[in-house]
Amino acid sequence: MSVPQGPQSPRGNGGNPFSPRGNGNNPDQNNRRNQNAGPGGPKGVMRSPWLWGIIIVLMVVLLFQMLSGRGPQTIDTKDGMDILTSQASDVKFANIVDNTRQVQLELNSDYKKTDPETGKERNYGKDVQFYYTYAQSAQVVKAVEKANPKNGWTASMKETSMWTYMLTSILPFIIILALFWFLMSRMGSGSGMLGMGGKKNAGKLSDGQIPKTKFSDVAGEEAAVQEVEEIKDFLQDPSKYKALGARIPRGVLLYGPPGTGKTLLARAIAGEAGVPFYSMAGSDFVEMFVGLGASRVRDLFDEAKKNAPAIIFIDEIDAVGRKRGSGMGGGHDEREQTLNQLLVEMDGFNNDTNLIIIAATNRPDVLDPALLRPGRFDRQVAVEAPDLEGREEILKVHAKGKPFVPDIDLHAIAVRTPGFTGADLANVLNEAALLCARVGAQLIDNRAIDEAIDRVMSGPRRRSKGMALDELRNTAYHEGGHALVAAALNNTDPVTKVTILPRGRALGYTAVMPTEDRYSQSRNELLDQMAYAMGGRTAEEIVFHDPSTGASNDIEKATKIARRMVGEFGFTDQLGAIKWIDSDDEQGLDGLRPREYSDATAQMIDEQVMSFVETAHTEAWQIIMDNREILDELVRQLLVKQTLNEKELKEIFANIKKAPQREVWLSNPNRPDSDKPPVPIPESLKRSAGLPQQ
């Protein structure tokens, strides 16, 4: 699509080729002169330490080459001995330098030699020299005596001149000291080492000091916005809080998965309050030189205090705020000094400072407890992945300015994207727009949305010549096994899509879609997830009796679920409701955290994990054996259509034989069981949740 363009401004000197090139009335040239005067122009280039370093090195190398280019030309030892023995009459004078094992010859005529490889003749001149080894000393002296040069010969010791001594011994140290002084002065003046970071990078004022982001731009996180509303009110009007003796939190910690909008929320607080927003990443404080990170913390807080009321935002604070003493070797490193300085600065606030510290992290569990105590980051706000309504609101925000076909349903897209963060949803709509633009479409349609969701979930479709037919059939049975087991189990989500089109690193995939947002899972749901994960491997075993490596990721998932059921959730009657394994497997940076259970317990954990996985494998095996005809029909249609949607899958699974319900599980069989059912959900709650009523 061509874009209409306005009239082109004349290039050069106002369009007149006869005007002088330096016309001061030409705004383009004035702008170029102004740009050259800036940091990127010639003057800025001349201030670059890299350029000066290169110039110094080139000057030293050139000086050494000039000095080494003077004096006699060096020839091979064999050629020098040949001159003394075969061309002795041509030797005018000889000098043996004993301490360098060097023979200098002054000849009557130029010494020339032909290179045997190139065939070219080289003229070495009348002054030549060659070197010899210690073992050749007596032989060289005899050869010189026998040659009997016309002007005689001498033996001497080479003396190093003062200039040579300075160049070889003192000058390198002077250059190193000069560079070190230059670098330290640059760091002290705020430009950082080699002009890359320093005090000038201690804090950045964004968008003209006050961000334009508002709470209306933070969709899908109403609970988090409500938690930080009073921060905005305090910065705008602190008097009503001070009148009641209230103290606003000095620090707010935003934590949650990546892409949920923590940085956006922090900017929105500053934008709503109309105060400057200082943003810096936690990794910017950690440097190689001890003390530089602490200096940056002081500079950042000093600058923010000058512009108070203000907000300081530290992204990824876990880079500098990890628990002290967990570093390699336990030393007092630069990160700990920086953390100590941050704690000191936060303690220096009073009720009149009007300075709020906001930090964001994905790992609040690894932060130092001193950061989280009251008086520092005393308010912690969870910014989680949005629920169904939140996803729909986020989609509405990112859909602004994008042309869609009339039948696009953002609510349906939100239903199909459980677990997606705000960044994921923005990526879905952006990918859909890119796909439509790639084929020249004017509107974003449902097919583009479907493909975009698949790309975000599983990666782009691989454009290859295709798999071998046997491998394609193997993949169809593998994915069909997953889908069949999921459809036959009683606690799994509906199967919405099965495909054998390769995406990312996967040869195919099966999609199960939750019907509602969940925040916890039951024991039976986890058992079903393991059986579903083992469905692909089981189908390969039953059909081909020769499983492939394609099930490695499924086995990994099943094993991970089983290990968490045993070690974290207490879902076994042999080990009880005891947490044996940390949820994040955090072993500290040094990896030396002691195990808190015995070898016998470790063996029991391994046995229970193996038992859970084997039980899931057996359940999947029985389901596939009971529904082999349905599996074969599913594979036939997959090989023809390559992708089956939810409607087609429902037709295939219409006569499926469901798996039997599991027996009631008790953590201890010796405890009495209760037959009383749970209380019913009140009708008022059903109405508010939109559930069907009896």
Residue list for the binding site for Zn(2+): 478, 482, 554
Give the Å distances, CA to CA, from 436 to 413, 450, 643: 17, 12, 21
Angle, vertex CA 104, rays to CA 102 and CA 110, nearest 5: 140
H-type alpha helices, 348-468? 369-372, 388-399, 410-415, 422-438, 446-458
Question: Looking at the annotation, which residues are catalytic?
Answer: 479
d(CA 140, CA 680): 112
**Closest listed residue to residue 189, CA positions, set 181, 204, 335:** 181
Q: Which amino acid is residue 257, in one-letter code?
A: P
Strand runs (DSSP E) across 465-591, as ranges?
Answer: 495-499, 509-512
Burial (CB count <10 Å: 0-12, 13-18, 19+), residue 609: buried
Q: Which amino acid is residue 325, in one-letter code?
A: G
| Spatial CB neighbours of 54, under 8 Å, sequence gap ≥ 6 | none
| Spatial CB neighbours of 476, under 8 Å, sequence gap ≥ 6 | 500, 508, 635, 638, 639
Give me the helix-helix angle, 262-273 and 222-236, nearest 10°. Answer: 30
CB 126 within 8 A of CB 184: no
Q: Is the dihedral of CA 325, 326, 331, 333 positive or negative?
A: negative
Residue listed under structure tokens 């910065």: 235
* Binding residue positions: 256-263, 478, 482, 554
Q: Per the omega criterion (within 30 degrees of 0), is the bond before 309 cis?
A: yes
Beta bridge partner(s), residue 315? 281
